[in-house]
Structure 1
């Protein structure tokens, strides 16, 4: 019986070939695994940043005494960005959309980890599309912050860095696999029938999550502005300043404010809420303190003053605090139409020197008190910049606590 004997060195050569193939696969998988883990780490970082931005958004809208560490100046102020109308899209905070996006991309990345050895493009075609979309949204939001809100958010910039880094990683992975984004998406589309159940479950879960969030999260960012005094007493003091609240107040709060100031709207809401909760105990006196860096602030102060001349000061006060920081200026025509006052009388009042003098006197009073910024509240001779501490009000009441309506 003839036997076939292996050629000397043949067995060893075959084993060497297998080892070489395994080494090549492992060598190819190593950078893929590293890139995917890096992508997952960035998704985790983005999730944490978005969660903190969402926390900031909630606190800014629900806690009038909250002050974020990232609110450094008027130009670097995450609170102003969070308080703007651009911070909510399609009924949910932008930060929450970001959180969902990072979870979706992270989930897809985890899904693709078990396909590293097969050198599969999945899911980097889809991840390229998602990270590109996230980067474009980041660029748009940065432009809005810079040009419309006139304040930048450090945490938002950090998420932008994460988004562009995610895009760079997807490009690096597709380049390593020697496939373009369009081809990668086509390849993944061809693979969808084999993953129909898993993909459907993933998509349905994401849609259900968004639907549940929209149904369960209350619109806490909707701050109601009163259309008028609401039955609360109003008047003018001996110096001519407009007040709202108690006829014989236990506490009088003087508010130095600017209608274009990014912090003043929140201070306005806090002060007016106190007045409406305690109309027989608290009086709010508005004093004009337009800052030089706000080009329309002095004009807005004159408009509010002139609205008062027609009996609509507090209505004008609400309107200007609501609309004063928008990019396009509030015109006298729009203002008179919104308040239902006589346009000709408003125009004449705006041109009178006595109107300018009244605003200048408020500013002089603020300067004499060494007020450095807005809003600043003066209670019992003490200055409180930014907001009114709750601890300040209670000791001033006869029984040591604020009474309720």
Structure 2
């Protein structure tokens, strides 16, 4: 009798543990997590836009070289089918929330839609694993916002799985079929919203603006160029009111972005500002301050640019080098020579030319003496600015 009573107590305890909470508790928990994912992707989308369009913007999670959301946003992997990945994330969470709203319908509780939501959450989680792999082995940098999104996706998967366990229904695929039929039969206002949403997703890759694709102004005879007494190429004013000396790395996204902005400002004010170029490749072959190789191809690109000075084609070569993909594995010397207008034979022998190598190492040493620790860096009137230039400095000259 006592043994039977103990068994009854154990069974009763198990039943108490597995008894589901009220349905709204599960629903609003899933809704809150999905809404957090949506807000996370909205922030990431805004950050992606500003990184490519705002000269002075640095995201909150740009902590170090290895933990840097900006590095991730600047990579080729941040765009998928002509649309930024975080924008796809906004659409994905939006779609999830629209479907979730169907589940709150009295006729849907507590079984409908959850199998379909489980498959979507499973897709989100698998995609998160793919993106995590790309971060680790391709981009080689970590994004705090991205990782928060991965955690949200796995949390959604777990919560939807819990709901399926708490409100079981036999036959996964038959239940999934019922979910789909519930969405379309009878036709609902929310169904119309869902259809328009899906149509917008299909159209988006065609109409989305490519704000991340920017180009340097064309070399024009209206904008003077020359070489300083120290052998540094310059572009801009013959008698400048402001001289900006840039220390740059051709594999550095921020260098390219700021160089583009400065060139546009110079093109609009060719008689006021002069931009002077100095090499600072983040390559230990030329940069003795480095213990690791951040941009191993940047030294070779600097060699090409330094050689182009000898043939008076620096700015043509400079603009080509900034457009080279950052994940380049090999450099087509012949194509580079043809497009820039320098001789192929000379460019091919450039790594062995003492004058070329000396110029790059001299630029790096001048930067180190100034206090340059990374790129881009700028010297203005003897003062060093790392990573950015205060707009007040430029606006003062332009306004005058």
TM-score (norm 1): 0.83
Query: Is the alpha carbon distance of 1:203 and 1:314 closer, same or farther for their aligned partners in structure 2, counting shifts above 3 Å?
Result: same
Equivalent pair of 1:229/1:314 in contact (CA under 8 Å) = no
CA shift digits 1:209-252 (9 cap, x unpaired): 44686687643222123454574221111111111111111111
Contact 2:216 2:263 in 1 (8 A): no
Aligned residue number for residue 171 of structure 1: 161
Offset at residue 142 of structure 1 (A): 2.7
Structure-1 separation of matches of 2:249 and 2:301: 9
Match of 1:123 in 2: 113
1:5-404 matches, cutoff 5 A: 30=21, 32-115=23-106, 118-120=109-111, 122-176=112-166, 177=168, 179=170, 181-191=172-182, 194-197=185-188, 200-210=191-201, 218-229=209-220, 231-291=222-282, 292=284, 293=293, 294-323=295-324, 325-395=326-396, 397=397, 401-402=398-399
CA contact (8 A) 1:81 1:149 kept: yes
* Cα distance, 1:254 vs structure 2: 0.3
Cα distance in 2 for residues equivalent to 1:187 and 1:211: 26
Deviation, 1:199, is 6.6
Q: Deviations over 1:288-314 (max 9, x none)?
A: 011232212211110111123233212
Structure 1 residues 366 and 179: CA distance shift in structure 2, 3 A: farther
The CA deviation at 1:123 is 0.9
| Total equivalences in the alignment | 373
Q: Mark the CA change 1:239 to 1:100 in structure 2 (over 3 Å): closer, same or farther.
A: same
Deviation (angstroms), 1:192: 5.1
In 2: Cα distance, 1:339 partner to 1:182 partner: 60
Q: CA deviation at 1:30?
A: 2.5
2:216 touches 2:264 (CA, 8 Å); kept in 1? no
Q: Call closer, same or farther: CA 1:354–1:215 in 2, change over 3 Å.
A: closer
Local SS of the residue matching 2:275: strand
Shift of residue 179, structure 1, vs aligned partner:
4.8
Q: Any gaps of 5 or more consecutive residues in structure 1?
A: 1-23
State the SS of the aligned residue for 1:263.
helix
Which structure would you say has the larger Rg? 1
Q: Structure 2-normalised TM-score? A: 0.84
Note the C-alpha offset of 1:266. Answer: 2.0
* Cα distance, 1:329 vs structure 2: 3.8
The separation in 2 between residues aligned to 1:237 and 1:361, in whole angstroms, is: 14
Contact 2:224-2:237 at 8 Å conserved across structures:
yes
Which shifted more, 235-244 or 273-282?
A: 273-282
Q: 1:132-152 CA deviation, whole Å, 9 max, x = no partner?
A: 222222222333333333332
**1:52 and 1:195, CA in 2 relative to 1: closer, same or farther beyond 3 A?**
same
Question: 1:9-63 CA distances to partner (integer Å, 9 max, x unpaired)?
Answer: xxxxxxxxxxxxxxx9xx9662644332221111110111111111112211221
- 3-state SS of the aligned residue for 1:377? strand
1:238 & 1:28 partners in 2: Cα distance? 83
For 1:179 and 1:345, how far apart are their aligned partners in 2? 74
- C-alpha spacing 1:157/1:337, structure 2 compared with 1 (3 Å): farther
Q: Which segments of 5 or more consecutive residues in structure 2 lack a partner in the other structure?
A: 1-14, 285-292
Root mean square deviation, CA, Å: 2.7
Task: Name the CA distance, whole Å, in 1 between partners of 2:332 and 2:208.
Answer: 36
- 1:250-292 deviations in whole A, cap 9, x for unaligned? 1110000112234222222222222222111111111001123
Shift of 1:193: 5.3
- CA distances 1:46-94 after superposition (whole Å, capped 9, x unpaired): 1111111111122112210112221112222212222333323333322
Q: 1:236 to 1:180 in 2, by over 3 A?
A: farther
